[in-house]
Amino acid sequence: MNENRKATIADVAREAGVSTATAGRVLGGYGYSSGEKRDLVLKAAEMLGYQPNQLARSLITGQTRTIGFVAGDIQSPFFAKILRGVSDVLDTQGFGLLITNSDEAVDGEVHSIRLLMEKQIDGLIISPCDTEGAKHLKKLAQTTPMVLIDRQVAGLDVDSVGVDNAGAAELCVRNLIDTGHERIGMVAELHSGPWKDVGSFVHMVRARGGEAGPMYPSWQRFMGYIRAHDAAGLPLDLSLIARVNSYSIEDTKIAAKQLLRQPNGPTVLFTTDGLMTEGTMAAIFETGLQMPEDISLIAFDDLDWMSFVRPGIDSIAQPRRKMGETAARMLIERIAGNDGPPRREMLPVRHNERGSVRDIRNARR
């Protein structure tokens, strides 16, 4: 055979001494072939360096065995760990993975999905930009298996994976209150939503008894912050909320500095994600404050560097890799024909104590 030509099923069949149909059944994984013939075909395929034509196979099966993933920000460590989990599961099941980036913009998300659909993906895992409308996702879900990760969309009844953001944040803030902190600052990316300001959001949360529909994780964590104050009977001081209007380390640093320079500022800062923590850390360093003596810090999302600095950073760790694994398994089940009701997997978080939060109550004693 010409060394520059790829081996075909016909070549494998000729080498193995079987029919083309038999070689096709063995290499395609369908139908029945005796053990002896199967061994002959596989040996011939290996010797010839045969590679299956996935495009031709997809025309027969109607599947490409390829999954699409749309990340909000592919540079974020949050998505890196999730993608590791997705990839691990897909590899064991013989699926490929195509990754795109939305940059947390609906137009970017629509464009990314269009690119993936042109590649004839079998299913989609996505962290949606829009938790309220998302008409493009609702339309796509009618024909394409889909799993939402980290976020949900109002009125979109598909499988989803995440954590109890509000509950985890509430427990975190309650623990801070129990250690004597009464002025708890919060640094959060709260740039979008149907609320004109944080005050109207607080009113909405209280009016609904501390519950609300699908919303961005940062808003959910703010909701937990509110619930913890109300449960403890601690007045809510909105001057302690640093609302960052863009997903930017530099903007976060500026907002955190303003918070730290208040005459009667916070004794502890609660940051709502990894990027907010990085910007806040920069603000603490540049203002010359020491942790936890001058300011305490606890972060939602655990990053690798948090255990290397001194003191280590207290954090709420999401099981990001497990989230990716769970989403991938759920999607493969849907592709295989599972038509049961939509599932919502809520995975547990882990609280890491590393020394960045000062116990004020014990210090007073």
pLDDT at 59: 46
What whole-number distance in Å separates Cα of residue 200 and Cα of residue 361? 33
- For tokens 């801070």, the residue is 176
End-to-end Cα distance, the chain: 86
What whole-number distance in Å separates Cα of residue 117 and Cα of residue 132? 23
pLDDT at 4: 55
How distant, in Å, are the alpha carbons of 26, 217, 288 from that of 302?
A: 47, 15, 24
pLDDT at 66: 92
What whole-number distance in Å separates Cα of residue 9 and Cα of residue 30? 14
Alpha helices in 49-105 (DSSP H): 54-61, 77-93
Q: Which domains does the chain have, with CATH numbers?
A: 9-52 (1.10.260.40), 66-163+320-347 (3.40.50.2300), 165-317+350-364 (3.40.50.2300)
pLDDT at 32: 57
Structure letter (DSSP) for residue 142:
T
Q: How many CB atoms lie within 10 A of CB 279?
A: 26
Pair 244, 271: CB distance under 8 Å? no
How would you class 127 by CB atoms within 10 Å of its CB: exposed for 0-12, middle for 13-18, buried for 19 or more?
Answer: buried
Q: What global pTM score does this model have?
A: 0.82
Structure letter (DSSP) for residue 318:
-
How distant, in Å, are the alpha carbons of 102, 107, 153, 247 from that of 114?
A: 12, 11, 19, 25
What whole-number distance in Å separates Cα of residue 24 and Cα of residue 8? 10
Alpha helices in the chain (DSSP H): 9-16, 20-28, 35-48, 54-61, 77-93, 106-118, 135-140, 165-178, 198-207, 217-232, 249-260, 274-286, 320-335, 360-364
What whole-number distance in Å separates Cα of residue 101 and Cα of residue 185? 32
Tens-level pLDDT at each residue, the chain (365 residues)? 555 567 788 888 888 888 888 887 777 665 556 778 888 888 888 888 877 665 555 545 556 789 999 998 887 888 989 999 999 999 999 899 999 999 888 999 999 999 999 888 999 999 999 888 889 999 999 999 999 999 999 899 999 999 999 999 999 999 999 999 999 999 998 876 667 788 989 998 898 887 767 788 999 999 999 999 999 999 999 999 999 988 889 999 999 999 999 999 999 999 999 999 999 999 999 999 999 999 999 999 999 899 999 999 999 999 999 999 999 999 999 999 999 999 999 999 999 999 999 999 876 65
